């Protein structure tokens, strides 16, 4: 699995972008998106998913169940 | 607007107005339409201040109450990210409590921001300070913040740089702040006790982890105070902002005042919580109220014995352009800036303006001193509301005033103690009958209101409410006039003609200042 950002809730504040250890986050049309191919759920880097921990809007960075669980 | 400076303005007042007209060709450096918050500024002049500190602050509109009549700051929104959450903040919207726009305001790249600053500084010679305050935290966006400073320092070395931060990341950047020659830092410190802090901050993001509750408040407080100490040690001037939240940190702010003073903060600015449900903040939604004007002033007075209190801050929008309070952002949107082509930075006109201002400021001090000599010592003090468009003169029509400046005057002199914004009260209707009662409520703690002119109807209503409408000082210096008025008032009290009675409390306007110029 990877994380995704719910676009309708994203304020575009950019806080998540520099925190991602895999440079998986970028801006698109004023909001931010996660590249599921790059996202490792922060496994191997941090205990908590960084985008989730820094995002000011609760439940905006969430698990994307459309992808299989990430294997380190 | 310039014409209202009027026939009684002296020669330097005229010269200032003419120079401004030449440069701007539109309404000049009024202080109309600012934020209606009473809060704070250094009333201290050169006498009780170290010369090197005075040199640093004298042209800074946020730090010197005298300077804010003549000089302006602007903020650029290059820093959208934040690393903490505050219960009085919803970053989607322009923040009513701090000088910062919301994340939906126009975001600028450092390059766009630098160009905007140069364009504004060339058009508005009063612009002497550039600040980075948000929408998030300047130091949670270090690359953007310092890149902006670098670009501006290169082209416009006369512009002072400042930044605002919640302090969490501050200790990591004190060296950088010093290296970039940033001369003012503002830290928002609402508590020095985590027990209090847990009710203000739901969480922080620190060293790759989210902390909540009392842990979050403890880390934040430690980092804030460490950062303040480090700035002091590095010789960087530091102001502390505190938001006064009744029932949560109001009494505690006296401790905060002591803690920041002992760590070398130059100024302490206590601002009222501005809180309404439509802001969508935690405090707004749970009905947390802000303080009344009297509660705020009482706390500010209590802290004043301890250190310089800043009272003229109006919690202006962080991307506001113009003299404090006068928002000219609409003239400098990024579309318009992009369309401008190469901006030529006009250092000479800026110098010319600033020299004229110095002359005017000296005249004002002399007038104040001579007025003061004629009054015997007394404990009696009164508040007066003043309608002004800037430059330290009574030069606004009562009916045109968007805000009133409040001065406390006694035998010790006239002291600026805050602003009352009144324009938002007019939203319900445009008739004077709708507006007047709310204007009266906003200045209800004042004995008199000084105006350049006033109509018959409002004059009667003010008198009925016990507020003396005064237009005989039209176009004169504010402080000198306030002292003369007090002299007359006090003489009547001594003669037994009138009895001195304190007045009631007043309202603080709610809501962010988001109107365009
Ligand atoms: S979970 Fe971690 S790796 Fe995935 S996008 Fe968020 S920060 Fe990047
Ligand atoms: S931190 Fe949250 S709100 Fe901010 S850009 Fe990332 S997803 Fe959007």
Q: What is the pLDDT of residue A20?
A: 97
Considering the domain architecture, whether residues B328 and B246 belong to the same structural domain is answered as yes
Whether B104 has its CB under 8 Å from any CB of chain A: the answer is yes
Whether residue A70 is contained in a domain is answered as: no
Q: Report pLDDT digits (tens) over B312-351.
A: 444 333 334 444 445 566 667 767 777 777 777 777 777 7
Whether residue B147 is contained in a domain is answered as: yes
Q: Which domain holds residue B325?
A: 27-340
Q: Which residues contact ligand 1 via a Cβ below 6 A?
A: A 3, 19-22, 24-25, 34, 39-42, 49-51
Of B81, B143, B205, the CB nearest to A13: B81
Q: What is the pLDDT of residue B100?
A: 46
Whether B205 has its CB under 8 Å from any CB of chain A: the answer is yes
Whether residue B169 is contained in a domain is answered as: yes
Give the domain CATH number at B45. 3.20.20.70
pTM: predicted TM-score of the whole model, two decimal places: 0.72
pLDDT class for B211, splitting at 50, 70, 90?
Answer: very high
Taking the C-alpha atoms of residue B269 and residue B99, their distance in angstroms, rounded to an integer, is 12
Helix, strand, coil shares of chain A as percentages rounded to 5? 10, 20, 65
Taking the C-alpha atoms of residue B67 and residue B203, their distance in angstroms, rounded to an integer, is 38
Give the domain CATH number at B433. 3.30.420.130
pLDDT class for B64, splitting at 50, 70, 90?
Answer: low
Taking each helix axis from N to C terminus, what angle separates B347-372 and B11-24, rounded to the nearest 10 degrees? 150
Contact by Cβ (8 Å): B81, A14? yes
Considering the domain architecture, whether residues B386 and B335 belong to the same structural domain is answered as no
- Chain B CA closest to residue A52: B210
Taking CA atoms only, the protein residue closest to ligand 1 atom 1 is A41
Q: What is the pLDDT of residue B52?
A: 67
Considering the domain architecture, whether residues B306 and B177 belong to the same structural domain is answered as yes
Considering the domain architecture, whether residues B388 and B502 belong to the same structural domain is answered as yes
Structure tokens given for B381: 């003090």
Q: Do B103 and A11 make contact, defined as CB atoms within 8 angstroms?
A: yes
Going by DSSP bridges, is the β-strand pair B72-75/B127-132 parallel, antiparallel, or unpaired? Answer: parallel
What is the A11 CA–ligand 2 centroid distance (Å)? 6
Question: Whose atoms come closest to the Cα of A70: which ligand?
Answer: 1
How large a percentage of chain B has pLDDT more than 90? 29
Structure tokens given for B241: 């902002």
Which residues 21-60 on chain A approach chain B with CB closer than 8 angstroms?
A: 46-48, 50, 53-54, 56
Taking the C-alpha atoms of residue B1 and residue B21, their distance in angstroms, rounded to an integer, is 10
Considering the domain architecture, whether residues B465 and B325 belong to the same structural domain is answered as no
Q: Average pLDDT, stretch B258-279?
A: 85
pLDDT class for B514, splitting at 50, 70, 90?
Answer: very low
Q: Which of B33-37, B106-110, B167-171, B265-269 has the lowest mean pLDDT?
A: B33-37
Whether residue B5 is contained in a domain is answered as: no
Whether B82 has its CB under 8 Å from any CB of chain A: the answer is yes
Who contacts B296 (Cβ-Cβ below 8 Å, separation ≥6)?
B38, B39, B244, B270, B272, B418, B508
Kindly tell me if the per-residue pLDDT of B212 is higher than 80.
yes
* Closest chain A C-alpha to B351 CA, distance in angstroms: 38
Which stretch, A15-29, B2-16, B93-107, B345-359, has highest mean pLDDT?
A15-29
Q: Report pLDDT digits (tens) over B447-496.
A: 999 999 988 888 888 898 899 999 999 999 888 899 999 999 998 888 88
Can you list the alpha helix ranges (DSSP code H) found in B420-477?
432-442, 456-464
User: Which residues from A are below 8 Å from B143, CB to CB?
Assistant: 18
Relative to the CA of B80, which ligand 2 atom is closest?
Answer: 4
Can you list the alpha helix ranges (DSSP code H) found in B108-187?
110-123, 142-155, 170-179
Whether residue A25 is contained in a domain is answered as: yes
Q: What's the structural domain count of chain A?
A: 1
Whether residue A69 is contained in a domain is answered as: no
Kindly tell me if the per-residue pLDDT of B27 is higher than 80.
no
Considering the domain architecture, whether residues B336 and B378 belong to the same structural domain is answered as no
Q: Which of A2, A16, A20 to mutate to test the pocket of ligand 1 (most atoms within 8 A of CB)?
A: A20
Whether residue A49 is contained in a domain is answered as: yes
Whether B107 has its CB under 8 Å from any CB of chain A: the answer is yes
- Chain B CA closest to residue A15: B81
* Closest chain A C-alpha to B252 CA, distance in angstroms: 27
Q: Do A13 and B82 make contact, defined as CB atoms within 8 angstroms?
A: yes
Q: List the single best residue of A11, A25, A29, A55 to mutate versus B (max B Cβ within 10 A).
A: A11
Considering the domain architecture, whether residues B227 and B91 belong to the same structural domain is answered as yes
Contact by Cβ (8 Å): B465, B459? no
Q: List the single best residue of B205, B216, B281 to mutate versus A (max A Cβ within 10 A).
A: B205
User: Which residues from B are below 8 Å from A14, CB to CB?
Assistant: 80-81, 141
Positive/negative CA dihedral, B32, B37, B42, B44: positive
Q: Which domain holds residue A39?
A: 2-64
Kindly tell me if the per-residue pLDDT of B305 is higher than 80.
no
Structure tokens given for B426: 């007019």
B156: left (phi over 0), alpha (psi -120 to 50) or beta: beta
Taking CA atoms only, the protein residue closest to ligand 2 atom 1 is A55
User: Which residues from B are below 8 Å from A53, CB to CB?
Assistant: 205, 208-210
Considering the domain architecture, whether residues B421 and B298 belong to the same structural domain is answered as no
Question: Whose atoms come closest to the Cα of A11: which ligand?
Answer: 2
Out of B293, B323, B340, a domain closes at B340
Considering the domain architecture, whether residues B322 and B386 belong to the same structural domain is answered as no
Taking the C-alpha atoms of residue B451 and residue B387, their distance in angstroms, rounded to an integer, is 5
Relative to the CA of A9, which ligand 2 atom is closest?
Answer: 3
User: Which residues from B are below 8 Å from A18, CB to CB?
Assistant: 81, 143
What is the A56 CA–ligand 2 centroid distance (Å)? 7
Q: Report pLDDT digits (tens) over B230-258.
A: 999 999 989 899 999 999 999 999 999 99
A25 burial (CB, 10 Å; 0-12 / 13-18 / 19+) is buried
Structure tokens given for B62: 């946020």
Q: Do A54 and B136 make contact, defined as CB atoms within 8 angstroms?
A: no
Considering the domain architecture, whether residues B323 and B397 belong to the same structural domain is answered as no
Q: Report pLDDT digits (tens) over A34-52.
A: 999 999 999 999 999 999 9
Structure tokens given for B125: 């010679």
- Chain A CA closest to residue B79: A13
Give the domain CATH number at A6. 3.30.70.20
Whether residue B62 is contained in a domain is answered as: yes
Taking CA atoms only, the protein residue closest to ligand 2 atom 2 is A55
Whether residue A72 is contained in a domain is answered as: no
Q: What's the structural domain count of chain B?
A: 2
Q: What is the pLDDT of residue B455?
A: 85
**DSSP three-state, residue A57:** coil
CA distances from B400 to B453, B455, B463 (A): 10, 11, 19
Structure tokens given for B517: 């110029």
What is the B221 CA–ligand 1 centroid distance (Å)? 28
Q: List the single best residue of B79, B80, B81, B91 to mutate versus A (max A Cβ within 10 A).
A: B81
Q: Which residues contact ligand 2 via a Cβ below 6 A?
A: A 5, 10-16, 32, 54-57, 60-61
Whether residue B182 is contained in a domain is answered as: yes
Kindly tell me if the per-residue pLDDT of B10 is higher than 80.
no
User: Which residues from A are below 8 Å from B104, CB to CB?
Assistant: 11
Whether residue A18 is contained in a domain is answered as: yes
* Closest chain B C-alpha to A57 CA, distance in angstroms: 10
Whether residue B359 is contained in a domain is answered as: no
Considering the domain architecture, whether residues B386 and B243 belong to the same structural domain is answered as no
Structure tokens given for B276: 């309404």
């Amino acid at each position: 699995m990877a994380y995704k950002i719910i676009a309708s809730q994203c304020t575009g504040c950019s806080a998540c972008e520099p925190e991602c250890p895999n440079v998986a986050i970028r801006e698109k049309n004023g909001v931010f998106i996660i590249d599921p191919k790059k996202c490792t759920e922060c496994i191997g880097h941090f205990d908590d998913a960084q985008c989730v921990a820094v995002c000011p809007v609760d439940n905006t960075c969430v698990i994307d169940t459309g992808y299989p669980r990430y294997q380190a | 607007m310039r014409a209202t400076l009027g026939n009684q303005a002296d020669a330097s007042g005229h010269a200032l107005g003419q120079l401004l007209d030449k440069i701007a060709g539109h309404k000049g450096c009024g202080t109309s339409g600012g934020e209606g918050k009473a809060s704070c500024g250094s009333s201290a002049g050169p006498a009780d201040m170290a010369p090197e500190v005075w040199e640093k602050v004298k042209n800074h509109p946020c730090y010197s109450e005298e300077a804010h009549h003549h000089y302006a700051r602007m903020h650029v929104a290059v820093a959208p990210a934040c690393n903490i959450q505050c219960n009085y903040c919803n970053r989607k919207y322009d923040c009513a409590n701090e000088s910062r726009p919301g994340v939906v305001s126009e975001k600028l790249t450092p390059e766009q921001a630098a160009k905007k600053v140069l364009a504004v500084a060339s058009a508005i010679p009063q612009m002497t300070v550039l600040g980075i305050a948000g929408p998030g935290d300047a130091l949670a966006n270090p690359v953007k913040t310092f890149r902006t400073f670098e670009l501006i320092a290169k082209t416009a070395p006369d512009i002072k740089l400042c930044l605002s931060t919640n302090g969490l990341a501050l200790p990591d950047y004190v060296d950088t702040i010093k290296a970039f020659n940033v001369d003012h830092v503002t830290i928002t410190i609402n508590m020095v006790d985590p027990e209090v802090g847990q009710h203000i901050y739901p969480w922080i993001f620190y060293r790759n982890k989210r902390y909540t509750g009392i842990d979050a408040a403890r880390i934040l407080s430690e980092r804030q105070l460490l950062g303040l100490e480090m700035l002091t040690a590095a010789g960087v001037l530091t102001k502390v902002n505190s938001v006064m939240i009744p029932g949560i940190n109001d009494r505690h702010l006296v401790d905060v005042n002591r803690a920041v003073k002992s760590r070398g903060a130059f100024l302490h600015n206590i601002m009222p919580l501005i809180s309404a449900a439509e802001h969508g903040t935690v405090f707004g939604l749970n009905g947390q109220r802000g303080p009344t004007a009297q509660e705020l002033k009482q706390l500010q007075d209590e802290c004043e014995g301890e250190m310089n209190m800043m009272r003229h801050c109006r919690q202006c929008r962080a991307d506001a352009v113009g003299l404090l309070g006068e928002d000219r952002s609409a003239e400098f949107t990024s579309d318009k800036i992009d369309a401008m082509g190469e901006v030529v930075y006009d250092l000479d006109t800026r110098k010319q303006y600033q020299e004229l201002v110095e002359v005017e400021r000296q005249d004002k001090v002399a007038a104040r001193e001579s007025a003061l000599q004629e009054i015997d010592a007394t404990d009696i003090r009164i508040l007066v509301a003043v309608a002004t468009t800037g430059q330290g003169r009574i030069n606004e029509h009562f009916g045109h005033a968007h805000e009133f400046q409040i001065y406390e005057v006694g035998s010790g002199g006239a002291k600026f103690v805050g602003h009352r914004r009144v324009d938002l009260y007019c939203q319900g209707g445009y008739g004077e009958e709708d507006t007047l009662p709310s204007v009266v409520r906003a200045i209800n703690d004042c004995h008199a209101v000084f105006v350049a002119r006033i109509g018959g109807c409002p004059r009667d209503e003010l008198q009925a409410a016990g507020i003396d409408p005064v237009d005989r000082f039209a176009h004169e210096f504010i402080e000198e006039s306030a002292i003369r008025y007090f002299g007359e008032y006090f003489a009547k009290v001594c003669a037994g003609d009138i009895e001195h009675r304190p007045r009631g409390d007043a309202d603080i306007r709610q809501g962010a200042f988001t109107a365009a110029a």
